[in-house]
Amino acid sequence: MTTRVRFAPSPTGGLHLGGARTALYNFLYAKKHNGKFLLRIEDTDKKNPPSNGQTIDDNTESIVQDLQWLGIEWDGEHVLQSARHDKHTKVADQLLEAGKAYRCYDSVLRDSKDAARTEARNRGDVFKSPWREKSHKDAPRNADASSVVRLKVPHEGTTTLDDSVKGTITSPNAQIDDFVLLRSDGSPTYMLSVVVDDYDSNITHIVRGDDHLTNTFRQQALYNACLSANIFSTQQAKPAYAHIPMVLDEDGHKLSKRTGSSSIGEFRKQGFLPEALTNFLLRLGWGHKDLEIVSMPQAIELFDLKGLNAAPARVSYARLEHLNAHYLRTLPLDDLQARLQPFLPASADSDARRRFFQGLEGLRQRATTLQNLVALGSFYFEKPTLPLPDATARKVWDEALLNLPPQALTRLDENLAQTNDADWQAHALAQTMRQTAQSLSLGFADLAKPLRAVCTGRMDSPDISEVIAVLGKRQTLERLEQALAQPQP
Ligand code: GLU
C-alpha cells in the first residue's frame, strides 16, 4: 500500500510555525516511505473572513509560496476543498437516504455555528436534536423552513483510536454530539468535507495537531456511518493517526496563528534561511539521539513517527538564530551571495557590492540572519559618519586620541599610505600595523582598535587587516584622515 499523507491548511491566515511543522512531518513521512504528499486548501468556511485582513486567495497564495520556499514540495496540483462541494453534498444526501443523518428543522438549532451544541457542552451534556427521532413527515410545511443536516451518532458503543503519539484512546460514542454536516444554506461543513476528501484521496496516515483530537472521534463516527451506508468501501483501510502536541511560545502559551512572530513569511523577510527553519521545525517535536543539525535528506532518512515527542514543544528563538547562523556559515559562498541580493541596500553601487561580497567570509562568521549580515557589513557600503554614531566606537577613537602619543595615528596613516597597491593585502597590512606599533612601543591593539573604529564605525567587525584589505587603500586612508582632521575631543 502506498503511503499517502496530506497537509490541509485553512487559509484563514498565512503559514505559521505550527502549520509548517505539520506540513514538514507529513512531507518527510511521505518521502521516507516513497509515498505521496498532497496539499489541500480547506477554503470551505467562506462566511468567516480570514483573521489577518487578507483574502482567502491571498492567504492560499502565500501558503503555497512559503511551503515552496521551505522546500516542502507536494505531489501534483494543490486541491481547493471548495471545488469538491458537490461531492460533499452528495455524501450528505446518501447518508440522509440511508437513515444515518437527519434534517434538523429547529430554527434555533440550525445555526452553522451550532449554538445548541455549545450550550449543551457548557451544561456538561452532549447535544442531541429532538429531530433525531422525528420522522420526515413531521417537517414544517412552510416553504422557507430551513434545516441543517446532522449525523445520527450512535448512543451506544465506544470508539478506539490507536494514535502513534497519544497511544490507545477509547471514548464512549454517547459523548459525541450530532454534529452538522450541511449548514442551513446547504454548504458542507469542515467535518464532512475532511472525511470525504481524505477517503477519496486514499489518505493512509493523518498527521496533524492534537487540537484536532476531539474532531477525530467525530470523524470516526462519520467514517463508520459512510461504511455502513456503503458509501465507503471496507476494502480501503481507515487512515492511521498521529496527533502532534501543540507548539508553545517562549512563555509556554499556545502559539497563536495571529502572532506575527511565528509567521513563516516574517522569518523569510528577516533573512532566516529555509534550511535553518526546517531544521528548527524538525527538532521542535521530533528527535533522533542527540542530533541537532539535520539536513533535509538526512531528515528524510531518519524521520519516523516513533520519534515524535508526546510533550508540547516550546519555541526558542535563540535556538533558531543559532541554527540560522550555522547555515549562514556553511552555505557555499556563491549561493549565499545570491540569497543576499534582496537584502542589499538599493543605493549600493557595484564597487560597494563587490567589497561587501569580498568581505563576506569574515562577516558571516558573526551573523545571525541575512538582514543582520548586511547590517554587520554596512561599512562596506558606506563610510561611517563623523563623529561616529556608535557610542563604543566613538569612545575607542576619542580615547586613542587622548591617550596615544600625539604622532601615533598619523604615523600609522603615513605607513599605510606608503604601502604600494600590490602589497595592499591583509597579511602585509597586519605587518605594517605591527611594525608601526612596535616603533612607538605600543601594542598591536592600541592602533588596530581606533583604526577599526573609524574604518567600520563598530567594534565587532571582522579582523581589521582583512577589512582594510577589502576596503582598499583609498577608502581606508580617506576614513582615517577624515577622522584625524576632526576637532580633538
Ligand atoms: N484545516 C484544518 C486546520 O487548518 C486541518 C484539518 C486536518 O488536518 O484534518 O486546522
> Residue 53 pLDDT > 70, yes or no?
yes
> Residue 113 pLDDT > 60, yes or no?
no
- State the distance from the centre of ligand 1 to the C-alpha of 2, rounded, in angstroms: 22
Does ligand 1 lie within 6 Å of residue 8's CB atom?
Answer: yes
Does ligand 1 lie within 6 Å of residue 212's CB atom?
Answer: yes
The mean pLDDT of 98-106, rounded to a whole number, is 91
Q: Choose the residue to mutate in 42, 45, 67, 193 for probing ligand 1, maximizing ligand atoms within 8 Å of C-beta.
A: 42
- State the distance from the centre of ligand 1 to the C-alpha of 9, rounded, in angstroms: 5
Does ligand 1 lie within 6 Å of residue 198's CB atom?
Answer: no
Q: How far apart are CA 256 and CA 22, in angstroms?
A: 15
Place of cell 423552513: 145
Q: How far apart are CA 443 and CA 460, in angstroms?
A: 19
> Residue 46 pLDDT > 70, yes or no?
no
The mean pLDDT of 98-123, rounded to a whole number, is 72
Does ligand 1 lie within 6 Å of residue 9's CB atom?
Answer: yes
Residue of 17, 71, 82, 8 lying closest to 255 (CA atoms): 17
> Residue 280 pLDDT > 80, yes or no?
yes
* Helix-, strand-, coil-residue percentages of the chain, each rounded to 5: 50, 10, 40
Q: How far apart are CA 242 and CA 4, in angstroms?
A: 14
What is the model's pTM? 0.92
Q: How far apart are CA 469 and CA 457, in angstroms?
A: 16
Query: Parallel, antiparallel, or unpaired for β 240-244 and 36-41?
Result: unpaired
Residues 6+ apart with CB under 8 A from 362: 461, 462, 463, 466, 467
pLDDT in tens, 372-419: 999 999 999 999 999 999 999 999 999 999 999 989 999 999 999 999
Does ligand 1 lie within 6 Å of residue 208's CB atom?
Answer: yes
pLDDT grade for 258, boundaries at 50, 70 and 90? low
- State the distance from the centre of ligand 1 to the C-alpha of 10, rounded, in angstroms: 6
pLDDT in tens, 67-101: 999 999 999 999 999 999 999 999 999 999 999 99
End-to-end CA distance of the chain: 79
The reported pLDDT for the residue numbered 109 is 52
pLDDT in tens, 453-483: 999 999 999 999 999 999 999 999 999 999 9
The reported pLDDT for the residue numbered 106 is 74
pLDDT in tens, 195-242: 999 999 999 999 999 999 999 999 999 999 999 999 999 999 999 999
pLDDT in tens, 178-201: 999 999 889 999 999 999 999 999
Give the domains, in start order, of the chain with CATH numbers.
4-248 (3.40.50.620), 383-484 (1.10.10.350)
> Residue 441 pLDDT > 70, yes or no?
yes
The reported pLDDT for the residue numbered 112 is 46
CB atoms within 10 A of CB 198: 21
pLDDT in tens, 408-422: 999 999 999 999 999
Q: Which atom of ligand 1 is nearest to the CA of 19?
A: 4
- State the distance from the centre of ligand 1 to the C-alpha of 389, rounded, in angstroms: 50
pLDDT grade for 105, boundaries at 50, 70 and 90? confident
Q: Which atom of ligand 1 is nearest to the CA of 208?
A: 8
Does ligand 1 lie within 6 Å of residue 194's CB atom?
Answer: yes
The mean pLDDT of 351-367, rounded to a whole number, is 97
pLDDT above 90 coverage of the chain, percent: 82
Mean residue pLDDT across the chain: 92
Residue at 5: amino acid letter: V
Query: Parallel, antiparallel, or unpaired for β 205-209 and 240-244?
Result: parallel
- State the distance from the centre of ligand 1 to the C-alpha of 186, rounded, in angstroms: 21
Q: What are phi and psi of 41, to 5 degrees?
A: -90, 115
- State the distance from the centre of ligand 1 to the C-alpha of 208, rounded, in angstroms: 7
- State the distance from the centre of ligand 1 to the C-alpha of 190, rounded, in angstroms: 9
pLDDT in tens, 127-175: 778 888 887 677 777 655 688 999 999 989 999 999 999 999 999 998 8
